[in-house]
């Protein structure tokens, strides 16, 4: 049977899965948990240099490869499956899309370096765990002495400690605007945040009269920020699917080999039914992800509601599959030494990142006028 993705996309998946198998096995993932950056720079250089994944969906005019959100979803699924430690989501998805949506000469100047992996970029858009609304911005920007100065705080900044470029929202007299802050700028303080998922680094960014460059038009940042958040929500949904599928495989492998009462536990009806339900739930979530990825290409007006629905569905599915995996594995599944815990923590973290399932369902209702 022919693949629904096509030969080129299937090859992308095969190459990336082999890469992740070679460079992001359980031993490598655990080794990075206590590292300073949370990722291996040599692996990142291969990911960006050899595979060209930092600019996958960036147009060729900006130094990228010119692929679509379908390819981005495939990469997110495979990296999520392997819990790959790399600033790909922050730099290649969130920051790259923010720059693309902002456009102009600044994007043309910054994106080639980002696409080549020469610089890691991220974005500081959130100021409260209870409110992921991109318009709820208290960080302020003042124009003074021929430049801009920012003051405020941003939370849950992906890979903030590794980034050379920070894209930050702040309010001016014209409204919410987007600014570029360079690592090491005066008044900039980056500190790690304690989170459940140690495979993904989040930072707190403090700005105290910090020099910054205005990106795009003053007061016109919200449409670009909302579009970038829709696309990062889609990538997170795909990542959830990859992690959940790996857990289903892990559970099935264990059920085939673990014996109770003289037979593999996979032979018991209760385990069979649970595994079947797990697989059905993940396949449904996967279908939703690629429907939304196709929507991003062919029906961008529908993307905002579709992306939020996918984020909510896939977050819930990943968390549920993580719980079920621990149950299938029994006592060993509850130990930190088992990889199920790495995926459980990623599932719970992803569910909260850039909005919980409940927050996204509420957002869908507002976007549909309900």
Q: What angle do CA 95, 98, 99 make, to 5 degrees?
A: 90
Q: Residue 117: name the closest of 50, 20, 213, 179 by CA.
A: 50
User: In this predicted model, what pLDDT tens digit does every residue of 67-86 receive, in sequence order?
Assistant: 999 999 999 999 999 999 99
Contact criterion met (CB below 8 Å) for 288 and 238: no
Name the pLDDT band for 129 (thresholds 50, 70, 90): low
Indicate the helix (H) or strand (E) that contains 107.
helix 104-115
Residue 3 predicted with pLDDT over 70 = no
Contact criterion met (CB below 8 Å) for 241 and 280: no
Torsion of CA 260, 266, 268, 269, to 10 degrees: 160
Residue 2 predicted with pLDDT over 50 = no
Domains of the chain: 7-115 (1.10.540.10), 121-220 (2.40.110.10), 223-367 (1.20.140.10)
User: Mean of the pLDDT values across residues 114-126?
Assistant: 95
- Copy the structure tokens of residue 64: 């990228």
Indicate the helix (H) or strand (E) that contains 178.
strand 175-182
Q: Average per-residue pLDDT in the chain?
A: 93
Q: What angle do CA 244, 232, 308 make, to 5 degrees?
A: 75
User: In this predicted model, what pLDDT tens digit does every residue of 130-162 receive, in sequence order?
Assistant: 678 888 899 999 999 889 999 999 999 999 999
User: In this predicted model, what pLDDT tens digit does every residue of 290-311 receive, in sequence order?
Assistant: 999 999 999 999 999 999 999 9
Hey, which residues does 287 pair with through a beta bridge? none
pLDDT, residue 130, reads 67
Query: What is the rounded distance in angstroms from the CA atom of residue 42 to the CA atom of residue 120?
Result: 14
pLDDT, residue 266, reads 75
Contact criterion met (CB below 8 Å) for 87 and 39: yes
Contact criterion met (CB below 8 Å) for 125 and 95: no
Query: What is the rounded distance in angstroms from the CA atom of residue 34 to the CA atom of residue 29?
Result: 10
Residue 1 predicted with pLDDT over 50 = no
**Three-state SS for 3?**
coil
Q: Residue 6: name the closest of 71, 79, 75 by CA.
A: 71
């Amino acid at each position: 049977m022919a693949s629904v993705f096509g030969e080129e996309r299937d090859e992308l998946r095969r190459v990336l899965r082999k890469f992740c198998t070679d460079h992001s096995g359980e031993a490598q993932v655990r080794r990075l948990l206590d590292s300073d950056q949370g990722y291996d720079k040599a692996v990142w250089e291969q990911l960006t240099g050899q595979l060209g994944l930092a600019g996958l969906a960036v147009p060729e005019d900006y130094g990228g490869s010119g692929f679509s959100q379908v390819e981005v979803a495939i990469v997110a699924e495979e990296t999520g499956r392997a819990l790959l430690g790399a600033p790909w989501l922050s730099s290649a998805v969130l920051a790259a899309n923010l720059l693309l949506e902002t456009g102009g000469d600044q994007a043309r100047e910054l994106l080639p370096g980002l696409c080549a992996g020469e610089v890691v970029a991220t974005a500081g858009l959130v100021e409260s765990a209870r409110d992921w609304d991109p318009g709820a911005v208290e960080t302020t920007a003042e124009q003074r002495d021929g430049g801009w100065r920012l003051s405020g705080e941003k939370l849950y900044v992906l890979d903030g400690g590794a980034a050379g470029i920070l894209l930050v929202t702040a309010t001016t007299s014209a409204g919410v605007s987007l600014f570029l802050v360079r690592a090491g700028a005066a008044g900039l303080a980056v500190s790690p945040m304690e989170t459940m998922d140690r495979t993904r680094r989040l930072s707190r960014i403090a700005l105290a009269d910090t020099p910054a460059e205005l990106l795009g038009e003053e007061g016109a940042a919200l449409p670009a920020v909302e579009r970038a958040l829709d696309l990062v929500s889609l990538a997170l949904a795909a990542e959830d699917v990859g992690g959940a599928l790996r857990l289903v495989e892990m559970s099935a492998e264990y059920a085939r080999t673990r014996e109770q009462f003289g037979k593999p536990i996979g032979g018991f009806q209760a385990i069979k039914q649970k595994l079947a339900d797990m697989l059905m739930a993940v396949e449904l979530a996967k279908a939703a992800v690629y429907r939304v990825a196709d929507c991003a290409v062919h029906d961008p007006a529908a993307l905002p509601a579709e992306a939020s629905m996918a984020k909510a569905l896939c977050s819930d599915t990943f968390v549920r599959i993580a719980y079920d995996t621990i149950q299938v594995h029994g006592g060993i599944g509850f130990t930190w030494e088992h990889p199920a815990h790495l995926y459980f923590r990623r599932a719970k973290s992803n569910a909260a990142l850039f909005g919980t399932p409940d927050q996204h369902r509420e957002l869908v209702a507002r976007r549909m006028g309900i």
